[in-house]
Chains A and B, each alone.
Chain A
Amino acid sequence: MEFFTPYYFKNNQKMKRIVFIITALFLFSVVSDSNAQEKNLEKAALVLEQLKKPQKNHVLVVSHRGDWRYAPENSLMAVQRCIDLGVDIVEIDVRLTKDGHLVAIHDTTVDRTTNGKGKVSDMTLEEIKKLRLKNACGVRHSRQQIPTLKEIMLLAKGKIMINLDKVEGNTVREAYEVLKETGTVNQAIFKGRETVDFMLKKYGDLMKEIIYMPILIDNTDNPEEFVKDYNKKLSPIAYEVTFSSTNTKNFKEIKRLNKKGITVLNIPLWDALVAGRTDEMALLEGPEVSWGWLIKNGANAIMTDRPEELLSYLKKEGLRREK
């Protein structure tokens, strides 16, 4: 303590005590600050753990394109909203600009979601940044711009995992560079429909550096073989599985993945992806007949257009382990 005490306070017990308290408070605030940071870091790391070891009493929530009902799809505001809601993973689409930057946008053109026109691949980042995103209603412009993947990852860092769509077999390397630069390699889940051999041939050892989630879509030739091959060569921690009906091979594959303790992500965005057990059904007929049904049939994670409602349903059902 002597060290912190200015000479004119010496021999003054009262002042000494005050200085001690102030110093203690200061030290405490520094410590609790770093605690808060750790807590944030924990969220993304925790989600990764939960992906690796799916539990019956905890279902992960993935928000499709960010919470686009409240902010433009694929915008920083839509990601921030997911962080605020307590969503685990936000799905974002990324595409390459003419000058090689990865930006978050779903369509190949900017026509639907911005006040501009043209292909993303024909525009420079500077041109892209001049545009303003539209709200879901289509007409009105938001103040939000198209974000770069870098901006998304910096916002998400520690707070939420990101699922990268449209990267597939195209821009894995470019996206990986951004993750390395922002220190978020462990926070991004790549995904794609290609076979494991295709991906390994194209990207080699890079496939072992990233978190990769194969997508099992309905017209996959031999789902059983597709999964076996991936499990043998890359042991993925999760699969995205769609099934147009419960008679499909894909639907049977869900049980096998469950037995192996590999996370199954279902995406109830529209009928053909989940044999009709959609988000809309949850809203109109009740969550137990859609989300509840999916969970009963093996979903460990659900990608939704209604993250707020899904979270509150899961909490009500005791399917969210809170820290």
Chain B
Amino acid sequence: MMKFKSLILSILLVSAVSCKKITESKNEEEPNKKLSKLESLLANLHDSTNKEVIVVAHRGDWRNAPENSLQAIQSCIDMGVDMVEIDVRETKDGHLVLMHDKTIDRTTKGKGAVNEWTLDSLKTLQLLDGLGVATSNKIPTLEEALNLCKGKILVNLDKSYDIFDKCYEVAKKTQTLDQIIIKGAKSKKQVENEFGEYLDKVNFMPIVRLANPNAKQTIDEYLEGDIPLAFEFTVPQDTISLIKKFKTIRNKGASVWVNSLWAKHNGGHDDEKAYLDVNVYDWFITNNIDIIQTDRPKLLLDYLRSKGLHN
């Protein structure tokens, strides 16, 4: 009996001490709390060595709202997602709207290419949900989307590379330039040639396919001079030796982004497998990946939070 009592006592003591530790560390964090939401998102984005993992939601939270809709973005903000990936296309009359496919056939009841429709006529359509049923959501303009994201969530603009001059104007107008991330699967020279004037004004991340024979050379070129914020790597097999370089790359100042979307992005450690066994995501953590683009933001956030790797 005595033994039992002393056991209880020591458990109580230990928990009291650890509680104290928690309150202390909370106090230490107080000054950080004064950072605005955006400041802490950016601080994390620019810190490649902290253990906080950045969660990117592919096309917004498309499970709960139409892909690329304002509601899909809002749902990500509410969940605590760090970055939302959206797709930009130009209308016939030169406006920028969110749309993944070249045509509006899959996501609305309309038909035809986005660039054959004016903004006014696109705005008469309703976006469809995952079963093809019409919702109250309309196709958003890039401006509407950026105004919603402003101060709340980082934005990765996909399909924007060739129309970036127009995207840039909208970003400037909505004062969201520091929140925007652009990616491209090109060599450093190509990017400097094609994208030069914007390179120091926006957050650019190179995409490197690790199966390419010149992958190592591309990485090395980018690591000379200005280190990019992050590399996105596609990892078709988890046996590729360049994976071992991820830690060094992060120590040099660039974060490492790998998609959990499809098996070919991550050597088979994808979202569908993680849905059946969440420990599949361990692969990302043990391989020093600190930005993950996912189709299951809630699952990934729950996992990371349980490991103390997300706020």
Interface residues of A (CB under 8 A from B): 64-65, 68-71, 73, 77, 112, 135-140, 142-143, 269-270, 280, 283-284, 305
Contacts and interface: CB of A to CB of B under 8 A. Distances in A.
Contact of A140 (B64, B129, B136, B295): B295
Contacts of A69: 63-64, 130
A135 B295 contact: yes
Interface residues of B, number: 22
A280 B135 contact: yes
Contacts of B262: 140
Contacts of A137: 59, 62, 67, 130, 295
B131 A68 contact: yes
A316 B71 CA distance: 25
B133 interface: yes
Contacts of B62: 136-137
Nearest to A107: B132
Q: What 3 pairs between A and B have smallest CB-CB spacing?
A: A136-B130, A69-B63, A137-B62
Nearest to B136: A280
Interface in B156-214: none
B272 interface: yes
Contact of B275 (A64, A68, A70): A70
B76 interface: no
Given A69-B64, A73-B131, 12 more contacts: A65-B131, A70-B63, A135-B295, A136-B63, A136-B129, A137-B62, A137-B130, A140-B295, A142-B272, A280-B135, A280-B136, A305-B129
B134 interface: yes
A65 B129 CA distance: 14
B142 interface: no
Contacts of A112: 132
B86 interface: no
23 contacts: A68-B130, A69-B63, A69-B64, A69-B130, A70-B63, A70-B275, A73-B130, A77-B275, A136-B62, A136-B129, A137-B59, A137-B62, A137-B67, A139-B100, A140-B262, A140-B295, A143-B272, A269-B133, A280-B135, A280-B136, A283-B64, A284-B136, A305-B131
B271 to A, nearest CB: 9
Interface in B115-158: 129-136
The A contact surface, by secondary structure, is loop
A43 to B, nearest CB: 22
Interface in B227-286: 261-262, 272, 275-276
B106 interface: yes
A172 B129 CA distance: 31
A112 B64 CA distance: 19
Contacts of A65: 131
Interface string B68-81: 00010000000000
Contacts of A142: 272
Nearest to B273: A143
A138 B262 CA distance: 13
Nearest to B65: A283
A215 B63 CA distance: 29
B136 A136 contact: no
A112 to B, nearest CB: 7
Contacts of B71: 284
Nearest to A284: B136
Contact of B261 (A73, A140, A143, A270): A140
Contacts of B131: 64-65, 68, 73, 136, 305
A85 B130 CA distance: 20
B292 to A, nearest CB: 16
A215 B59 CA distance: 37
A305 B64 CA distance: 10
B84 to A, nearest CB: 14
B68 to A, nearest CB: 10
A52 to B, nearest CB: 30
Nearest to A135: B295
Contacts of A135: 295
Nearest to A139: B100
A142 B295 CA distance: 12
Nearest to B134: A270
Nearest to A280: B135
Which of B64, B71, B131, B136 has the largest number of chain A CB atoms within 10 A? B131
A138 B136 contact: no
A270 B109 CA distance: 15
B72 to A, nearest CB: 11
A139 B71 CA distance: 20
A73 to B, nearest CB: 7
